[in-house]
Structure 1
Amino acid sequence: MANIKAFRAIRQRTDDSSVERDLQAWLEPGLNYGGDLKPYLLTFKRLLKDGFYLKEEGPAIYVYENHSSSGIQRGVWALTNVQDSTDGMIVLHEQTLPEHEDKIKAYREYIGLEGEPVLLTYYPQQEINNLMESVVSSQQPERIVQAETAHLLWKVNEASSIAAFQRSFASLKNVYLADGHHRLAAAAHLKSDEQQWISSLYISTDQLRIREFNRLVIPASIINKEELFELIYRYFHVSAIPYNRAYQPDQQHRLGMCFHGEWYQLDLRPDLSALAQETDALILQEYVLQPFFGIADPRTDDRLHNFSPDGGWEKLLQELRHQVSSIAFTLFPMTVEQLTRHAGKQKPLPPKSTWIEPKIPYGLLMYCSLQKEHNGITL
């Protein structure tokens, strides 16, 4: 089940049908910040005081839709009770990085601004589809365009309609966290002090798109090729890539590897039937990265680097050119079925196992979890 409620969104005040691109840099520090959050709070307060951003007059749930070259995705945007995660109603699939989690917790505790939602997924339910379709067909959406993607919003603010959505989501049997593990974990740490709600976009599994993260290992010492390949041969058939092209796998249980500038294709051996049920990210971690490189905790080991599909491919190739001793592993995207099946096992995947879309522009709908007054401004 999912316990949801409406919220008073903080919105950009503008006639332009776009989202301010620099907003996140103004309001959120990078992960390497020195710990002083006061400048970000002052900026947030100034944007509210000067009227550049305003709180909606009343609480609402939103139907959200995006249109891009990859297709259309539709979901429901609301607040989720963080207690759902603690009670096991939200199933997680990925480990978190402690340092990231601590910094997000500090930000949430001091400022509390959520510029984008966590992404939750569920198996398609006809009643929720019908509710969304009823909203979409009865009113005109607000349309915001960013980076060649159109983001559409329909506001649901009638009490009876909000209650209908709440009943439908309360009847869900399983809800899976698709994206936002660090943010949800940070909120869960604070719920002992007061009840926590978190901005959430719910999207059914048939609407999700999953892409891959690739891995790069920068070893602390020289790697013996024969020893590495001896281990890899235990689990994979290895073949050289024709013309030594940079290789991206084209199916599950097939990996790419670049060692000292040479590209190889790694195919999971068919006789290893037990491993065939696992995800490629987990196989790589447990059977290669940990036993050979000693990367026991991929959350904290600074020899391991992850590259997203959002511009990460070129960065990976650049690192391979600059770090001649580095070793790359490229993966095929996980399926939605693999994600939910693995989450059901209660065995988290390594961090950065999935890049999941939709990605929501920062600031499209914001929520402040701190309902406190600062210098006459209620956050």
Structure 2
Amino acid sequence: MALVRPFKAIRPANDKVSFVASRSYEEYSKGELKSVLKYNPFSFLHIINPGFKFEKSITGKERFRLVRNRYLEFLEDHVFLKDEEPCFYLYQIGKGDFKSLGFFCACSVEDYRNDVIKKHEDTIRRREQLFADYLYTVGFNAEPVLMTYSDNDRASELFKKEIQRQPEYHFTTTDRVNHTLWKISDPDTIAELEGIFGQMEALYIADGHHRSASSNLLAQKMEKENSSHSGEEAYNFFMAYLIPESEIKIYEFNRMVKDLNGLSKEEFLIKLDEHYRIEKREDGLYKPTKKHHFSMYLEGEFYSLYLRKTKYHFTDALSSLDTQILYKTILEPILGIKDLRNDKRISYGYGKHNLIKMKDSVDNGDFAVGFSLVPIVMDEIKAIANAGLVMPPKSTYIEPKLRSGLTIYEF
């Protein structure tokens, strides 16, 4: 059963929170990153980019040590404050008509090891170890693992009651995303929430497989160094943001390939015909609306691809996944792409207008062909995770995307 714990968060001072909270480092362009670092002295980006202070690019363990120093400076300058009592932190994030209401908590590495916390993605050992070394040096985690749970009426009732109170934070960031956070410090409410989640059979990682795997490695390392290890130490847990399944948004990743693997257009279409009924679309942009149907853009024209189910056999949850079907019937056998993560011939795109971007990229000659899919749904993710299987890379783009530095978990 799932173990969730309150924790004493390190949080931005109320008057600085909108300046501190940052998007994931990878989401910033070089120009945007430089501007934030230059004009916003409170941004969390200063902590994870400590070399900016010295006008120098710093990497490796030296960077880790300097991250720790910048973090301590934020504490010394009271940009960050530490709560005096363990709390859950109810957090609503939303933009336009999309909102998610979940809570920050500490989850157990033991649950991760015992598959109470379910995974659906492969992790790269080198990246796991690098981030574990980072955590060990800096002594804190500012990026929660996003996890989902089956909707629970009682938990929803408790949260609806909590959001009637005055929030700790309420602000809007420059990308027009609204953020509201409430502290849950009442012992009875905390105990009831612990009991509710203690009856759940599983939590599902939506985003943060490497972060959770690295937290597990960190716990193993620190346990070996602690002769009086009890299992209750902070390193036995990691920060997570839990949301009900109904409040997660899943988008698809399109696939674009640079060439047809030496085939002409006609030869390529003939090979596709083995597994697909192919129809040329005459109605402009075409996006599929059903599972096992794909949109293909090739030499200025859209095609619909309908899987011939007499030629393709569903054997498990993975074989039924559209990203896997596309890989096993087209990308690997016809286009010769075996390594979806590292092959330079394939690229991925997501987002509201990505079908247009895919078309433009093919028209401009950057790619020879593009494929559009329908989004994977939560039931498919759970089926993969429950079976201990692994999705192909770039199968899902999941929202909400959480801010760094809003709550920090210390080891």
* TM class, shorter-length: 0.7 to 0.9
Q: Which residue of 2 aligns with 1:348?
A: 390
* Preserved CA contact (<8 Å) 1:19 1:145: no
CA gap 1:311/1:366 in 2 versus in 1, 3 angstroms: farther
CA gap 1:85/1:258 in 2 versus in 1, 3 angstroms: same
Q: CA RMSD in A?
A: 3.0
Q: Which residue of 1 aligns with 2:10?
A: 10
Residue 359 (str. 1) matches residue 401 (str. 2): yes
* Letter in structure 1 aligned against 2:198: A
Q: Which residue of 2 aligns with 1:377?
A: none
Counterparts of 1:324 and 1:189, CA distance in 2 = 40
Q: Which residue of 1 aligns with 2:265?
A: 225
Q: Which residue of 2 aligns with 1:196?
A: 236
Residue 158 of structure 1 is aligned with which of 161, 167, 186?
186
For each residue in 1:318-371, what CA deviation from the matched residue of structure 2 results, as whole angstroms up to 9, or x when unmatched? 543554444322221111222212222221101221111222222222223xx4
Q: CA deviation at 1:302?
A: 3.1
Q: Which residue of 2 aligns with 1:293?
A: 335
Q: Which residue of 2 aligns with 1:27?
A: 47
Q: Which residue of 2 aligns with 1:82?
A: 109
Q: Which residue of 2 aligns with 1:329?
A: 371
Counterpart of 2:93 in 1: which secondary structure?
A: strand
* Letter in structure 2 aligned against 1:62: Y
Q: CA deviation at 1:221?
A: 5.6
TM-score, length of structure 1 as denominator length:
0.84
Counterparts of 2:44 and 2:263, CA distance in 1 = 40
Counterparts of 1:328 and 1:96, CA distance in 2 = 26
* Preserved CA contact (<8 Å) 2:275 2:312: no
Counterparts of 1:101 and 1:216, CA distance in 2 = 28
* Letter in structure 2 aligned against 1:133: K
Runs of at least 5 residues in structure 2 that lack an aligned partner in the other structure: 23-35, 37-42, 50-56, 223-234
For each residue in 1:230-263, what CA deviation from the matched residue of structure 2 results, as whole angstroms up to 9, or x when unmatched? 33222222222326x4543333222222334443
Q: CA deviation at 1:185?
A: 1.8
Query: Which structure 2 residues correspond to residues 87-166 of structure 1 after superposition, within 5 A?
Result: 87-98=114-125, 100-140=127-167, 142-146=169-173, 147-166=175-194
Query: Which structure 2 residues correspond to residues 238-253 of structure 1 after superposition, within 5 A?
Result: 238-242=278-282, 245-253=284-292
* Preserved CA contact (<8 Å) 2:10 2:81: yes
CA gap 1:52/1:173 in 2 versus in 1, 3 angstroms: same
Counterparts of 1:189 and 1:327, CA distance in 2 = 41
* Letter in structure 2 aligned against 1:46: E
CA gap 1:272/1:226 in 2 versus in 1, 3 angstroms: same
CA gap 1:85/1:25 in 2 versus in 1, 3 angstroms: same
Q: Which residue of 1 aligns with 2:209?
A: 181
Q: Which residue of 1 aligns with 2:69?
A: 42
Q: Which residue of 1 aligns with 2:306?
A: 267
Counterparts of 1:169 and 1:163, CA distance in 2 = 10
Residue 62 (str. 1) matches residue 101 (str. 2): no
Counterpart of 1:291 in 2: which secondary structure?
A: coil
Q: Which residue of 2 aligns with 1:254?
A: 293
CA gap 1:200/1:212 in 2 versus in 1, 3 angstroms: same
* Preserved CA contact (<8 Å) 1:215 1:306: yes
- Mean Cα displacement is larger for which, 311-320 or 257-266? 311-320
Counterpart of 1:2 in 2: which secondary structure?
A: coil
* Preserved CA contact (<8 Å) 2:361 2:367: no
Q: CA deviation at 1:211?
A: 0.9
Q: CA deviation at 1:303?
A: 2.8
Residue 235 of structure 1 is aligned with which of 262, 269, 275?
275
* Preserved CA contact (<8 Å) 1:96 1:299: no
Q: CA deviation at 1:214?
A: 1.5
Counterpart of 2:131 in 1: which secondary structure?
A: helix
- Mean Cα displacement is larger for which, 87-96 or 305-314? 305-314
Counterparts of 1:298 and 1:102, CA distance in 2 = 22
Counterparts of 2:259 and 2:200, CA distance in 1 = 46
Counterparts of 2:123 and 2:371, CA distance in 1 = 21
CA gap 1:345/1:101 in 2 versus in 1, 3 angstroms: same
How many pairs align? Answer: 366
In percent, how many aligned pairs have the same letter? 27
Counterparts of 2:285 and 2:126, CA distance in 1 = 32
